[in-house]
Amino acid sequence: MAYAAGIVLYNPDIKRLEENVSAIAPQVGDLILIDNGSDDLDDVKKLIPRFDNITLIENGANLGIAKALNQIIDKAEGLGYEWVLTLDQDTVCKPDIISKYDGLIKRAKDKVAVVTSNFEDRNVAVESSVEKEYEKVSLCITSGSLNRISCIKAVGGFDEKLFIDMVDYDICYALTRNGYKIIRMNYTGFLHEVGKSNEKRFLGRKMIIYNHSPLRKYYWVRNSIYLKRKYKLGLKADKRVINRFFQTLFFEKDRLPKLKSMLKGAVDGYKL
C-alpha cells in the first residue's frame, strides 16, 4: 500500500487504542507505534500479534509528542513511504479515510504538504464546511493528517522544544510560511477528542471549554507564547492566551492549580 500511519502512545486506554488500530491498520501498508514510556505497555503488546503490519518503537520514557512524531516521520521514510498519517492514541478513523485522501492527492499539486479532513469530537459539536469538496486552510490538528514526508523534513520537522501542545500549530506555521499548502477535505474522516471539552455561553457567544489538566495548561500557555515569538504572531496570539485564562478562571474546576500552571507557562514562554 502507498501509505503508512503512526500513533503516539502514552498510557493509552487499551479499548480505545484497539478501536484505533483496528480501524487504520487494514488501510495502510505499515502502522508505526511510538510508545513514550506507557505503564500499560504490556497490554499494548498484546494487540500487536493480531496484525501483520505493526512496528513498535519503545522510548522507555516520555520524550514528548514532537519527538515521537519525528520518529514516525523517520521510520516511515526508512520504510520507503512518501506519505504518513499521524494519529493520536484515541483517534478512530473512518474505514475510507485513506481512499478519500488518496483520491485527492492524485489530483493535488506538488506544493500540498498535508491533507486533513473534518472530524467528529466525542464531546462537542464541531462546525464544518460542506460547500466545497476541499479547501486550503492555514491550521489543522496533527491527528488525522496525512503528511508528505519530504515537506515535513524540508521545514526541519516537528519542534521538539514544544514537547506537547501547539506542536500541530507550529508545523502548520512552518509549512505555510515556506509556501506549502494544507488541504482540508470537507468530509468527516475520524472521531477525535480534544481534552474533556464542553460548551458554555457567555454574552450570547458559544465557547468551547477544554478542561485540560494543570500540566497541559502549562504547556499550552508556554508554547503559545513561544510560537508568538517564533513566528511574530502579535496581538492575536496574546488574545488567545488571555481568553484561555478567562475561560479557566470562570468556567473550569480546580482553578487555582490550573491558573498557577498557566502563569508559570507564561513566564517560561519568554525564556524558551
What is the four-CA torsion angle of 71, 225, 144, 69, rounded to 10 degrees?
A: 0
- Please indicate, yes or no, whether residues 131 and 173 belong to a single structural domain of this protein: yes
Together in a domain, 24 and 117: yes
User: Quick one: 50 and 102 in the same domain?
Assistant: yes
Q: Would the pLDDT of 125 be above 60?
A: no
Confidence (pLDDT) at 257: 94
Residues 141 and 178 in one domain: yes
Using the CB atoms, write b or e for 43-81: b if 16+ within 10 Å: ebeebeeeeeebbebebeebbbbbbbbbbbbebbbeeeb
Instruction: Report the domain count for the chain.
Output: 2
Res 193: pLDDT: 72
| Confidence class for position 132, pLDDT limits 50, 70, 90 | confident
How much of the chain, in percent, has pLDDT values that exceed 90? 76
Mean pLDDT, the chain, whole residue set: 91
Same domain, 87 and 135: yes
Task: Indicate if 91 and 117 belong to the same structural domain.
Answer: yes
| CB contact set of 172 (below 8 Å; sequence gap of 6+) | 114, 138, 139, 140, 182
Q: Which of 181, 185, 184, 149 is nearest to 6 (CA)?
A: 149
Same domain for 204 and 181, yes or no, is no
- Residues 98 and 50 reside in one and the same domain: yes
Residue 17, pLDDT score: 96
Structural domain ending residue among the three candidates 138, 160, 192 = 192
pLDDT of residue 253: 84
pLDDT at 62 over 70: yes
Q: Does 180 share its domain with 204?
A: no
Is the pLDDT assigned to residue 54 strictly greater than 80?
yes
Tell me, yes or no, whether 57 and 10 share the same domain.
yes
- My answer on whether 237 and 169 are in the same domain is no
| pLDDT tens, residue by residue, 158-199 | 999 999 999 999 999 999 999 999 999 999 999 977 655 556
- Residue of 131 and 72 predicted with greater confidence: 72
- The whole domain housing 14 covers 3-192
Lowest-confidence segment of 78-82, 95-99, 249-253 by average pLDDT:
249-253
- So what's the pLDDT on residue 210? 66
Last residue of a domain, one of 174, 192, 210: 192
CATH of the domain at 61: 3.90.550.10
17-21, 128-132, 150-154, 218-222: segment of lowest average pLDDT: 128-132
| Same-domain status, 53 and 184 | yes
In what helix (H) or strand (E) does residue 183 lie, and over which residues does it extend? strand 181-192
From 163, 192, 221, give the residue that closes a domain.
192
